[in-house]
């Protein structure tokens, strides 16, 4: 070429082709049927420039296993090159999912040069010719035997021209794209005419033309009874008949048909010219008679699904900024005059030390009067939640409240105390992965109720109203010693969300306060290494033979205290209280030394520690009754860690940090000293930290082997915290020690924390519970349908959620991804149900047919296109035929509908389509085809009669707004 720029462009193309090793004869085996759909396609790209115009060059190819017969294949004379074999191959016509050039030309490998930017285009004819000449020269120079295409015109038109060069052969790829189709090309005879004229075969009797034809019919008008999902009845929510909508359960399913269209492709894969007639007057192409049927479904874009809507709306709460007061109105809480003074007085009485039992304070009266004021200010009509809905929710959350109304105080406390042990299964334990709450817990139920309130009963105002009532209920239960139902016993579970931990903490406070106010001891759990919960009842056996045991029985609970401080009373049971009565006569410790004086009476014993005895007196070593450690929520643990970290690394800071951490240790040492008079530090270590007491066998003076023990190296460090605490500790039993856990203060902290939560904070806390519930719901629904692809997606959701939700403040984007995944699963299951209903899977009586239909529906969900067994005469084909007939009937007048035979019989009558075709003005079973695709193939000598016969191919597609011809015409270049 005369210009320098095209030469650089050509050399760049040659360089890329060499780098990709596309030089020389390409080898491969004949393609198997359907491999273009099931096989893996790959591509690699580079960028080249023509002057300042950038192009991308991309190599598309089907990944194939290397053939073992490459050497033998090269020896076969007159064998067609692979691209030409692909032009004639009929195994992969009309692939459902492939590059457009694969569908049009049937190629397994090709290279495309296209403008790099989406808005760039090669529009002028001279530039198109220049590009085509450039690729022709590049192919000739390199000997590349892979077809090379150039994209011209605007990208949306998908216009390509290209060329292939082989040994003595060349194929030109040409294309025509029109908006309006000429009438003569709307049928087969017109397309044959243009194909033959384009070939220009010099032979008088033309070789036969092979034809593959596909007509595509679209069914859009699904009838209403084919869609099974009914919208939930919101009005029946409180009345009892809630159907798919119920407190404690999330709804599921699409509100609209998630399948928008069904595309039926009727295919004649191998016809010879002259066998059928298809012109502007008459056509033999009856879809019922087509030998192959295949179906694909078009899914509705983002169908409205109930579960997805619930999740999305609840997630929107996380972005709200208003507080509960701002949403419900500050006036709801504002009172004037004496009532304000009463409340202040009550709160001050709550926080100041006083011998009056806490349950006698007027805080509960204050709360109930505040409730009345709230309702008085807001008015019944203004309340976001009406009383009926609110009472239904509160009874669902607090079932023991109904028992109280019927049976009084005792029933309420008894039903709320303990919970059944949690079931050990994978679904139940999801809460620990998601950091949510157990599925039978109050927190989980609260999340579901708030989610439903947010969607159906007032949005954020309803959420704020219910939360306000919930906090008031928590206050009421704290004031009146009612345990909170739906929470596991014991300290806060750090595997759960923070809100659940706070409620557990409040329950711990109520339990401690209740035990103290009733003058009874609650359950004692020995957290020491030697004790278990089952040991608690045995504490009385070791002190029950005390002669003075009755002295202590009449003593008031307050008399245990020798100051204004309140003390923790930790007794195994009432008999233990009696048995240890004598021990209270002698209080106070003796002078601290290496061991305690033995004349002190033992107090607070639980049970002996096996066969261990004290080192010096030789008496049995008793495990003491100890205080339970203060329960902690994760935010308190973080606070404590920060305080300890701020003390720094200096010696003084380290010492102070150790003292702060040793409060529990000191308490246990005092309990141990009280239970074991005359003990020493070694005795305590043997019980408390056995690894720090090292025993070894030694030979004594008499030659006997004896066991000698000593403290570990860390215990021998001068002035270490254990030694210092031991010297400080006095023999004081747990019941007379200062409480490690101030339940009053902690309860008020929790109640304040709950009261200041905004709806957005609440939504953030409870979102893991909602995601947990949604995952359980989709698992439950999937189990009914049994869709393998959905099982995999659910596993991915669980894995993804467990990684995201473990962090304290997950990113909104990641949360949105999880919700989108759950919505996609819901849509897939809804589509499965829609298709099962449309194809009458459940109504089918023949078991074999039912299994075939079920398999067919599952394939429709997972594959881009599914073949119909038996075409129009199989079970699925008959149903599809019936669906089209029903849709066609709807488009005709009522007279024609009434004159037509019954629907159930019509598709199954043999020859019925032919009979209807003969009736003048009869209703057609199928609408006009939406798409007509034709592939014409032949092998003819070109350009001369003595040339080698080479493949010629033309693909045509005709739709309502589009007409395209894609031709591949080969010529012998040996003598030309």
Taking only the tens place, the pLDDT of each residue in 637-695 is 777 777 777 776 676 766 676 666 677 888 888 899 888 888 888 888 888 888 888 88
Q: Give yes or no for residue 527 having a pLDDT over 50.
A: no
Task: Examine residue 210 and say whether the peptide bond preceding it is cis (omega within 30 degrees of 0).
Answer: no
Q: What is the pLDDT of residues 502-521, one digit of tens each?
A: 999 999 999 888 887 776 54
Above pLDDT 70, what percent of the chain? 74
Mind giving me the DSSP string for 836-861?
HHHTTTTT---HHHHHHHHHHHHHHH
Q: Give yes or no for residue 830 having a pLDDT over 70.
A: yes
Residue 609 pLDDT: 80
| 151 or 303, higher pLDDT | 151
Residue 581 pLDDT: 37
At 465, phi and psi to the nearest 5? -65, -50
Q: What is the pLDDT of residues 1-43, one digit of tens each?
A: 344 447 888 999 999 999 999 887 777 788 888 888 888 999 9
CA atoms within 13 A on the CB side of 183: 2
| 258 or 599, higher pLDDT | 258
Q: What is the pLDDT of residues 914-965, one digit of tens each?
A: 444 444 344 578 888 999 999 999 999 888 888 888 999 999 999 988 899 9
Q: Which residues contact 311 (CB under 8 A, 6 or more apart)?
A: 770, 771, 774, 819, 822, 823
State how far the Cα of 582 lies from the Cα of 550, in Å rounded to an integer.
8
Long-range CB contact pairs, 725-729, < 8 A, 24+:
725/662, 725/665, 725/666, 725/669, 726/669, 726/681, 726/684, 727/592, 728/666, 729/666, 729/669, 729/670, 729/673
- In our burial notation (b when 16+ CB lie closer than 10 A, e otherwise), range 72-86 reads eeeeeeeebbbbbbb
Is-contact 270 208, C-beta < 8 A? no
Is-contact 496 437, C-beta < 8 A? yes
> Rounded to whole angstroms, what are the CA distances from 139 to 116, 164, 758?
21, 8, 70
Residue 76 pLDDT: 55
Q: Give yes or no for residue 535 having a pLDDT over 50.
A: no
Residue 266 pLDDT: 94
C-alpha 859 chain-centroid distance:
24
> What DSSP character marks residue 901?
P
Q: Span 48-77, mean pLDDT?
A: 73
What HEC string does 437-465 produce?
CCCCCHHHHHHHHHHHHHHHCCHHHHHHH
C-alpha 895 chain-centroid distance:
53
State pTM to two decimals: 0.70
Residue 388 pLDDT: 84
Q: What is the pLDDT of residues 325-381, one digit of tens each?
A: 777 775 444 443 344 444 445 545 445 544 433 333 334 444 444 444 444 444 444
Q: Which residue has the tokens 């690729």?
A: 135
C-alpha 291 chain-centroid distance:
43
Q: For 194-203, 262-271, 377-386, 772-781, which range has the lowest pLDDT when averaged over its residues?
A: 377-386
Look at residues 938, 945, 943, 946 and name the one whose alpha carbon lies nearest to residue 971: 943
Residue 44 pLDDT: 93
- 719 is written with which tokens? 């002035």
**Helix H or strand E encompassing 968:** strand 962-972
Above pLDDT 90, what percent of the chain? 23
Residue 893 pLDDT: 46
Residue 42 pLDDT: 92
Q: Give yes or no for residue 125 having a pLDDT over 80.
A: yes
Helices (H), 689-811: 721-728, 743-755, 759-785, 788-805
Q: Give yes or no for residue 162 having a pLDDT over 90.
A: yes
- 733 is written with which tokens? 């039993």
**Helix H or strand E encompassing 610:** strand 605-613
Q: For 60-74, 105-119, 165-179, 585-599, which range has the lowest pLDDT when averaged over its residues?
A: 585-599
State how far the Cα of 213 lies from the Cα of 188, in Å rounded to an integer.
9
Q: Span 583-609, mean pLDDT?
A: 56
Confidence of residue 163 (pLDDT cuts 50, 70, 90): very high
State how far the Cα of 311 lies from the Cα of 442, in Å rounded to an integer.
19
Q: What is the pLDDT of residues 228-269, one digit of tens each?
A: 555 554 444 443 333 334 667 888 888 888 888 889 999 999
Helix (H, G, I), strand (E, B) or coil at 506: helix
352: left (phi over 0), alpha (psi -120 to 50) or beta: beta
Residue 230 pLDDT: 53
State how far the Cα of 434 lies from the Cα of 834, in Å rounded to an integer.
32
Q: What is the pLDDT of residues 404-447, one digit of tens each?
A: 555 444 444 433 434 444 455 667 778 888 888 988 899 999 99
């Amino acid at each position: 070429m005369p210009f320098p720029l095209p030469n650089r462009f050509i050399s760049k193309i040659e360089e890329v082709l060499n780098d990709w090793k596309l030089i020389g004869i390409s080898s491969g085996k004949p393609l198997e049927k359907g491999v273009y759909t099931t096989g893996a396609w790959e591509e690699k790209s580079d960028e080249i420039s023509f002057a300042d115009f950038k192009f991308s060059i991309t190599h598309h190819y089907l990944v194939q296993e290397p053939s073992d017969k490459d050497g033998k294949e090269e020896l076969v004379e007159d064998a067609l090159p692979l691209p030409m074999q692909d032009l004639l191959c009929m195994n992969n016509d009309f692939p459902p999912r492939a590059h457009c050039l694969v569908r049009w030309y049937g190629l397994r490998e090709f290279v495309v040069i296209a403008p790099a930017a989406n808005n760039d285009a090669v529009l002028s004819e001279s530039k198109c010719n220049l590009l085509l000449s450039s690729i022709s020269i590049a192919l000739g120079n390199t000997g590349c035997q892979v077809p090379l295409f150039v994209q011209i015109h605007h990208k949306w038109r998908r216009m390509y021209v290209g060329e292939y060069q082989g040994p003595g052969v060349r194929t030109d790829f040409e294309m025509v794209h029109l908006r309006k189709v000429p009438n003569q090309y709307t049928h087969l005879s017109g397309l044959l005419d243009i194909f033959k004229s384009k070939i220009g075969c010099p032979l008088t009797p033309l070789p036969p033309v092979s034809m593959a034809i596909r007509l595509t019919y679209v069914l859009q008008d699904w009838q209403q009874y084919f869609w099974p999902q009914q919208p939930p009845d919101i009005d029946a929510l409180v009345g009892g008949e809630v159907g798919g909508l119920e407190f404690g359960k999330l709804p599921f399913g699409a509100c609209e048909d998630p399948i928008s269209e069904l595309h039926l492709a009727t295919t004649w894969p191998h016809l010879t010219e002259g066998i059928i007639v298809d012109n502007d007057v008459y056509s033999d192409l009856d879809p019922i008679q087509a030998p192959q049927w295949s179906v694909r479904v078009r899914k509705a874009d983002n169908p409205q699904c109930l579960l997805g809507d619930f999740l999305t709306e609840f997630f929107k709460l996380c972005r709200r900024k208003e507080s509960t007061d701002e949403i419900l109105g500050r006036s709801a809480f504002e009172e004037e005059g004496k009532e304000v003074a009463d409340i202040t007085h009550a709160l001050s009485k709550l926080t100041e030390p006083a011998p009056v039992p806490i349950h006698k304070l007027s805080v509960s009266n204050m709360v109930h009067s505040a409730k009345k004021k709230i309702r008085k200010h807001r008015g019944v009509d203004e309340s976001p939640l009406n009383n009926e809905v609110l009472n239904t929710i509160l009874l669902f959350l607090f079932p023991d409240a109904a028992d109280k109304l019927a049976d009084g105080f005792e029933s309420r406390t008894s039903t709320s105390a303990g919970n059944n042990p949690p079931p050990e299964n994978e679904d139940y334990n999801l809460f620990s992965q998601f950091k949510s709450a157990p599925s039978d817990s109050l927190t989980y139920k609260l999340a579901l109720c708030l989610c439903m309130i947010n969607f159906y009963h007032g949005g954020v105002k309803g959420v704020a109203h219910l939360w306000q009532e919930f906090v008031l209920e928590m206050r009421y239960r704290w004031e009146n010693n009612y345990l909170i139902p739906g929470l596991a016993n014991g300290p806060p579970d750090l595997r759960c969300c923070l809100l659940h931990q706070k409620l557990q903490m409040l329950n711990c406070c109520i339990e401690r306060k209740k035990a103290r106010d009733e003058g009874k001891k609650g359950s004692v759990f020995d957290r020491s290494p030697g004790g278990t919960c089952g040991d608690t009842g045995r504490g009385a056996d070791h002190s029950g033979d005390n002669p003075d045991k009755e002295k202590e029985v009449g003593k008031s609970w307050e008399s245990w205290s020798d100051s204004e401080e309140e003390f923790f009373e930790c007794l195994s049971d009432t008999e233990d209280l009696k048995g240890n009565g004598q021990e209270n006569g002698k209080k106070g410790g003796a002078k601290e030394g290496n061991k305690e004086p033995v004349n002190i009476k033992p107090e607070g014993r639980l049970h002996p520690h096996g066969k261990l005895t004290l080192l010096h007196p030789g008496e049995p070593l008793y495990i003491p009754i100890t205080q339970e450690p203060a329960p902690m929520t994760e935010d308190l643990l973080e606070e404590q860690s920060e305080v300890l970290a701020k003390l720094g690394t200096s010696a003084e800071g380290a010492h102070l940090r150790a003292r702060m951490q040793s409060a529990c240790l000191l308490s246990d040492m005092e309990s141990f000293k009280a239970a074991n008079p005359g003990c020493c530090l070694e005795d305590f270590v043997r019980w408390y930290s056995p690894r720090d007491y090292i025993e070894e066998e030694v030979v004594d003076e008499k030659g006997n082997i004896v066991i000698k023990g000593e403290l570990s190296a860390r215990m021998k460090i001068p002035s270490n915290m254990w030694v210092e605490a031991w010297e400080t500790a006095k023999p004081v039993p747990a019941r007379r020690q200062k409480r490690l856990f101030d339940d009053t203060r902690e309860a008020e902290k929790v109640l304040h924390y709950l009261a200041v939560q905004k709806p957005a904070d609440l939504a953030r806390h409870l979102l893991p519970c909602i995601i947990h519930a949604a995952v359980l719901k989709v698992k439950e629904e999937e189990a009914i349908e049994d869709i393998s692809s959905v099982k995999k997606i659910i596993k991915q959701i669980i894995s993804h959620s467990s990684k995201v939700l473990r962090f304290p403040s997950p990113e909104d984007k990641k949360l949105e991804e999880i919700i989108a995944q759950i919505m996609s699963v819901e849509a897939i299951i809804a589509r499965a149900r829609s298709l099962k209903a449309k194809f009458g899977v459940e109504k089918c009586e023949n078991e074999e047919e039912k299994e075939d239909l079920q398999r067919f529906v599952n394939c429709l969900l997972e594959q881009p296109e599914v073949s119909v067994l038996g075409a129009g005469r199989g079970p699925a084909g008959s149903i599809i035929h019936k669906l089209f007939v029903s849709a066609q009937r709807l488009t005709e007048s009522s007279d024609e509908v009434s004159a037509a035979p019954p629907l159930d019989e019509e598709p199954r009558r043999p020859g019925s389509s032919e009979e209807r075709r003969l009736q003048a003005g009869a209703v057609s079973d199928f609408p006009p085809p939406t798409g007509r695709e034709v592939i014409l193939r032949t092998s003819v000598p070109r350009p001369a009669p003595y040339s080698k016969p080479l493949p010629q191919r033309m693909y045509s597609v005709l739709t309502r707004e589009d007409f395209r011809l894609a031709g591949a015409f080969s010529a012998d270049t040996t003598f030309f």
